[in-house]
């Protein structure tokens, strides 16, 4: 009985916490998955030895520097180079031939995190002869991860796994061609960065970022509730040119979206869709 009461109180505190974060700083997590948000907030509460969530709420209201830590806790930063290699193999097979018909290609990586998947796509575009006629926008609301993405510096101990992913995805060169090793880190080759623009954008609160031919937003929507998912998919729909392509994550699906009828399926398994041409 006591645990049920504590759980109920914590749920109330979380709603108030998220409302305070929105009202004070304009970061809106109110329609994120309740389970994800609760897990991350309780984890931070325990790490910092707060007595309860209300005490932590007081801290964010009066200490803006602490909010940056909360943003890191609540944002989704699980990523790697060529994450899910079969997805990139499908892009090479089914999406690249479509993109090759365009004189100029605009791509939007929404929720780009620390940038590994952005550079993965830039490499793929370069190998297919498309990078020089591409503009790649990479956005996130978290300034700290955007800084890492812009720098393109990653721990060297991850490179073995990244190389394996690259090879499984159908990479055509030696993966070592795309970075320089320096002690414990590697830095992404500067030629891959010249067509990439990193920018601040919040999928929850901001409007259309740009009109693009390809949107990649993988394993972000799973952290949103159904209402917010539909809102973001509508944002993607409005951002895509007719015939534009939307790539979602392996655990995401347009099938139950209110906007599913506006897309055709290119690859159901890899969650690749194309915006229908409508008059």
- For the chain, what are the domain ranges? 2-74, 85-275
Residue predicted with more confidence, 186 or 75: 186
- Please choose, from the candidates 52, 47, 48, 56, the residue with its C-alpha nearest in 3D space to the C-alpha of residue 20: 56
Residue 2 pLDDT grade (very low, low, confident, very high; cuts 50, 70, 90):
low
What pLDDT score was predicted for residue 278?
A: 66
The structure's pTM equals 0.87
- Cβ-count burial of 69 within 10 angstroms (0-12 exposed, 13-18 middle, 19+ buried)? middle
Give CA–CA dist 119/122, Å, rounded: 5
pLDDT tens column, 155-182: 999 999 999 999 999 999 999 999 999 8
pLDDT tens column, 28-75: 888 888 888 998 999 999 999 999 999 999 999 999 989 988 988 887
CATH superfamily assigned to domain 85-275: Vaccinia Virus protein VP39 (3.40.50.150)
- Please choose, from the candidates 221, 123, 101, the residue with its C-alpha nearest in 3D space to the C-alpha of residue 175: 123
């Amino acid at each position: 009985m006591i645990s049920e009461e504590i759980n109920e109180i914590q749920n109330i505190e979380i709603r108030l916490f998220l409302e305070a974060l929105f009202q004070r700083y304009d970061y809106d997590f109110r329609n994120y998955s309740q389970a994800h948000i609760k897990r991350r907030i309780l984890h931070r509460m325990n790490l910092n030895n707060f007595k309860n969530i209300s005490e932590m709420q007081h801290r964010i209201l009066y200490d803006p520097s602490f909010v940056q830590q909360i943003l890191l806790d609540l944002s989704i930063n699980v990523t790697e180079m060529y994450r899910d290699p079969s997805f990139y193999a499908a892009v090479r097979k089914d999406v690249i031939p479509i993109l090759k018909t365009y004189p100029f290609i605009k791509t939007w990586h929404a929720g780009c995190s620390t940038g590994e998947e952005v550079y993965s796509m830039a490499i793929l575009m370069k190998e297919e002869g498309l990078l020089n006629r591409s503009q790649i926008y990479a956005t996130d609301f978290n300034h700290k991860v955007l800084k890492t993405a812009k720098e393109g510096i990653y721990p060297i101990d991850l490179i073995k796994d990244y190389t394996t992913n690259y090879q499984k995805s159908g990479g055509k060169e030696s993966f070592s061609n795309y970075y320089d090793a320096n002690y414990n880190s590697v830095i992404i080759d500067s030629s891959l960065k010249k067509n990439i623009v990193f920018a601040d954008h919040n999928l929850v609160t901001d409007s259309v970022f740009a009109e693009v031919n390809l949107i990649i937003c993988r394993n972000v929507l799973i952290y949103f509730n159904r209402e917010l998912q539909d809102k973001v998919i509508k944002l993607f729909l409005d951002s895509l040119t007719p015939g534009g392509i939307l790539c979602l994550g392996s655990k995401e699906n347009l099938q139950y979206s209110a906007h599913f009828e506006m897309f055709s399926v290119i690859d159901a398994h890899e969650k690749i869709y194309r915006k229908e041409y409508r008059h």
